[in-house]
Structure 1
């Protein structure tokens, strides 16, 4: 199947998915969570293959850490799916209501976007997070992960698609792209894709924007800040500051800048220094 046929099928499935109710979508999400747990050995085996190949290819240590998808990571994404189930349905919410004339009212109501193309880094948990968010919001999705995670992504996408089919979700709502050539073709598919979300360097995002007529949700320069205000609870602020940097230092949203109000600095800085030093090991 070529990329255009794939895009067409995802588009057709997205139209049906847009009409799915919250109960059906949540049932499908729960099925994904249970299927991930049931198939964890297959997923972990695929991930080991990716890790071994990437180590031989001298992938940097921080990227290897992102690539690892073990039982703990599976448990984390499963917990995230159940958190998602507990959220309200984002579709069908009235955001604005205006009476234009007698008997004539205008409503602004949330609805699915359609088909979203997402290009993301070599982090398998991102595939689960992106696909389940798209399902909850009633959108079809075309996914392209980093080549380093190809076996893991293939295993995960297979589990997710089979699980949602069992829950009555239209087949083909999710598709996995495998090559860079397919990404270049995807940028031309404005008849099927409604939004592209690229995750990567600014140069990469700019390349996507410059080479597609499809709307792109990119990002701008910036670093992740943690701010401690003058009236902050010091114990809580220390815990937040330490966690924001050390809980998982390899992720893109780990704190890079700590801003402290001058009034609380004399008490807070020694406390956070001690806490951060205790993390060294």
Structure 2
């Protein structure tokens, strides 16, 4: 059985002609597909391609479904050493997640962090922020769906996904909403935490850093929160099952509002 040690925490093994990544000597994941073999001297020479995620999209290939991506089959031993080379480069470049496909880089970086790797612990949150800001749409979607944004503090997460104006307005909105009950439980923790938990659910939608949908059901609101009028890109506003007496006449300030 061939084995390659990248560092104290990260190693690879060739088992039954399959490459296996190990963290702290324990099996972590099996490498399904060698998309690109990276040489140290070539990391910054992809022209306009900024990451392996972009390369995968441009090549119309994926790590999960490599059928017909290449017309030839790479021998298991050659592929193993290709993976070893890639992970060695990844480590030498401080676990830069642009160097690996996101569906390997982030789960592996999280596991290394949990295992106590000091470098991984130092860069993990930085890589989440960097790739959410500068990655592809698929990379951002992956980070959201797989729960990586939950590793950020609430303040870090809100600053990352909202522009400054909507971030400030969301804080103002939280100050206008009094404590309320949800399924019989009094929500008396900071309302901003509740609103933050609603982001990217059916209650709050964000596009290009701006809130486009706001659903505030069953909050026992008696007055219309004036801060809502500052969400310039708001298209859908739902305030059902509250105790509002009226909607302000200047609701027309929401120029993009399509549904109320």
Q: TM class, shorter-chain normalised?
A: under 0.3
Q: Which has the higher contact order (CA 8 A, sep 6+)?
A: 1
Q: Which has the higher helix share?
A: 1
Report the TM-score, using the length of structure 2 for normalisation.
0.23
